[in-house]
Amino acid sequence: TQGQVITCKAAVAWEPNKPLTIEDVQVAPPQNGEVRVQILYTALCHTDAYTWSGKDPEGLFPCILGHEAAGVVESVGEGVTEIQPGDHVIPCYQAECGECKFCKSGKTNLCGKVRSATGVGVMLSDHKSRFSINGKPLYHFMGTSTFSQYTVVHDVSVAKIDPKAPLEKVCLLGCGVPTGLGAVWNTAKVEAGSIVAIFGLGTVGLAGDFILTKNSYLIIVNSSSLVYLLTQSLTTLNVKVKEKNKYICLLGWGTSVIVGVAASGQEISTRPFQLVTGRVWKGTAFGGFKSRSQVPWLVDKYMKKEIKVDEYITHNLSLAEINKAFDLMHEGGCLRCVLAM
Ligand code: AHE
Ligand code: ZN
Ligand code: ZN
């Protein structure tokens, strides 16, 4: 298949809120600096639902959604040196090129190399899509598009992992679990003995909860009721709830960390007094983890049983059942649903 167009199944989002349809799509060979990956397992995250809903200002249709997955490299384009066919990988929506001013700063996990292309649903080298149906292009999503049996990603957006790791589990290390862990470890830098409140107990919130209970006091806070809290993912919390968590920050150094997405036009605000008095208000993307260097490290931690992953998987379905998987997610009794491709 190397160098050839692959026809495979993918779930296509034709327009906002219209059920996804499983289609035969054509996946072009990887170009310079690109990798074609056979996706074996993908999970769903609320951000997929958010973009599907039409509320994402960067949302483009028709597209192939999906960004929390694991698979095996099928082929690589020219100039790709660090990844080979057969490597086990996790696609990463946050790239790490190691060379841009952001990567070199040592201050952030954000990378500037491919973001301008991934934000408009295309590949960097020629600003085109590698996906099509009978010649009609489909947009990429978050540089990952994992709701397809084959996808093409930038080489800077793919983490090579231990081939012994179970792909049907570690696919979760592509988004939700690292976001929760990293919000605590990297962004809030929670110290032993801290008092911490988590708003929302989806996969992201629970991932933070799990590591916090070891060394801190955890309060579970929600505006309405515990039932609501236990059935909502952090990503879906509205901006009013996101805003509220600053009010409980401790004077002097209390820190509020914002995670997840909000619809186009929605904003958060605060009285200057909150910041003048030393409260810190920040956010985190992918928990502050550098993707290519730290996702393999998270996989190793999972293999050593130092972090949990299996516990977040409440449902297993197939790609053909993807609309049902979205329904489950909205019903609330589901943390992560993993689809076998
Ligand atoms: N397109 C959205 C932005 C979406 C967003 O903020 N995404 C998060 C990850 S959500 C994972 O479930 C993120 O890390 N963003 C960093 C980045 O570079 O996109 C919008 O609102 O415009
Ligand atoms: Zn996500
Ligand atoms: Zn970079």
Cα gap 147→140, rounded to integer Å: 10
Q: Which long-range contacts (CB under 8 A, 24 or more apart) does 216-222 make?
A: 216/190, 216/191, 216/192, 217/193, 219/195, 221/197, 221/245, 221/248
286 lines ligand 1 (CB under 6 A): yes
pLDDT class for 130, splitting at 50, 70, 90?
A: very high
Residue-level pLDDT at 219: 59
How far does the centroid of ligand 2 lie from the alpha carbon of residue 49, in Å?
10
Q: Which ligand is nearest to the CA of 97?
A: 3
| Residue 150 clears pLDDT 70, i.e. is over it | yes
For residues 35 and 76, the answer to whether their CB atoms sit within 8 Å is yes
pLDDT of 59-107, one tens digit each?
999 999 999 999 999 999 999 999 999 999 999 999 999 999 999 999 9
| Residue 20 clears pLDDT 60, i.e. is over it | yes
Two tokens, residue 103: 């990567």
Q: How many residues does the chain have?
A: 341
pLDDT of 260-274, one tens digit each?
888 888 888 878 888
For residues 123 and 129, the answer to whether their CB atoms sit within 8 Å is yes
Residue-level pLDDT at 225: 34
CA distances from 144 to 43, 106, 127, 283 (A): 12, 25, 15, 22
Cα gap 59→237, rounded to integer Å: 19
pLDDT class for 255, splitting at 50, 70, 90?
A: confident
Residue-level pLDDT at 247: 58
72 lines ligand 1 (CB under 6 A): no
pLDDT class for 57, splitting at 50, 70, 90?
A: very high
For every residue of 147-169, DSSP letters joined together read SBSEEEEEGGGEEE--TTS-HHH
Residue-level pLDDT at 129: 98
What residues contact 204, with CB distance under 8 A and at least 6 apart?
176, 177, 179, 180, 183, 233, 234, 235, 259, 260
For residues 75 and 3, the answer to whether their CB atoms sit within 8 Å is yes
Which ligand 1 atom minimizes the distance to the CA of 47? Answer: 12
pLDDT class for 154, splitting at 50, 70, 90?
A: very high
What residues contact 246, with CB distance under 8 A and at least 6 apart?
256, 270, 274, 279, 281
Please give the model's pTM, rounded to 2 decimal places.
0.93
Mean of pLDDT over the chain? 89
Two tokens, residue 190: 């929670």
Residues classed as catalytic: 45-47, 67-68, 97, 100, 103, 111, 115, 175, 336
Greater confidence, 206 or 92? 92
- Spatial CA neighbour of 22 closest among 339, 316, 323, 328: 323
By most ligand atoms within 8 Å of CB, the mutation choice from 52, 61, 92, 93 for ligand 1 is 93
| Residue 153 clears pLDDT 60, i.e. is over it | yes
19 lines ligand 1 (CB under 6 A): no
Amino acid identity for residue 317 in this structure = L
Residue-level pLDDT at 191: 79
pLDDT class for 58, splitting at 50, 70, 90?
A: very high
pLDDT of 217-242, one tens digit each?
665 554 333 333 333 333 444 556 55
Residue-level pLDDT at 246: 55
Residue-level pLDDT at 220: 55
| Residue 186 clears pLDDT 70, i.e. is over it | yes
291 lines ligand 1 (CB under 6 A): no
How far does the centroid of ligand 1 lie from the alpha carbon of residue 142, in Å?
8
Amino acid identity for residue 62 in this structure = P
> What value does the mean pLDDT take over residues 304-313?
96
For residues 27 and 150, the answer to whether their CB atoms sit within 8 Å is yes
Two tokens, residue 52: 């599907």
How far does the centroid of ligand 3 lie from the alpha carbon of residue 97, in Å?
4
pLDDT class for 332, splitting at 50, 70, 90?
A: confident
Of 47-61, 162-176, 243-257, 266-280, the range with the lowest mean pLDDT is 243-257
CA distances from 86 to 128, 140, 296, 313 (A): 26, 23, 16, 26
> What value does the mean pLDDT take over residues 163-178?
98
Of 37-41, 97-101, 211-215, the range with the lowest mean pLDDT is 211-215
Residue-level pLDDT at 223: 38
285 lines ligand 1 (CB under 6 A): yes
Q: HEC profile for 6-32? A: EEEEEEEECCCCCCCEEEEEEECCCCC
Residue-level pLDDT at 192: 75
